[in-house]
Amino acid sequence: MGKYASWNEFEKNVPISYKERATPESYRTGMNGIAPTGLKVKEGRVNHYGDGVDGKGEFVVAGYKRAMFE
């Protein structure tokens, strides 16, 4: 949470940032970057990732709140 000055700022901006950055393409790039030599991430995994993050920014914030604060 270091880049945000308050919880309200975090709660407002993370869903926007998450939506912009958590894309199937960024997942593909990251996974292919760590893949063993000669292998690449399965396209089905990329598609599943896309299905799993679409519209989930608010859930990320809610989960972080539950995990970090009492």
d(CA 5, CA 13): 11
CB 18 within 8 Å of CB 60:
yes
pTM over 0.85: no
Single-letter residue type at 16: I
The first and second tokens of residue 4, run together, are 């945000």
Grouping H, G, I as helix, E, B as strand and the rest as coil, residue 14 is: helix
d(CA 42, CA 19): 22
Looking at per-residue confidence, does 60 or 30 come out higher?
Answer: 30
Task: Supply the mean pLDDT for the chain.
Answer: 87
Provide the pLDDT for residue 62.
Answer: 87
Question: pLDDT per residue over 28-54, tens digit each?
Answer: 999 999 999 999 999 999 999 888 777
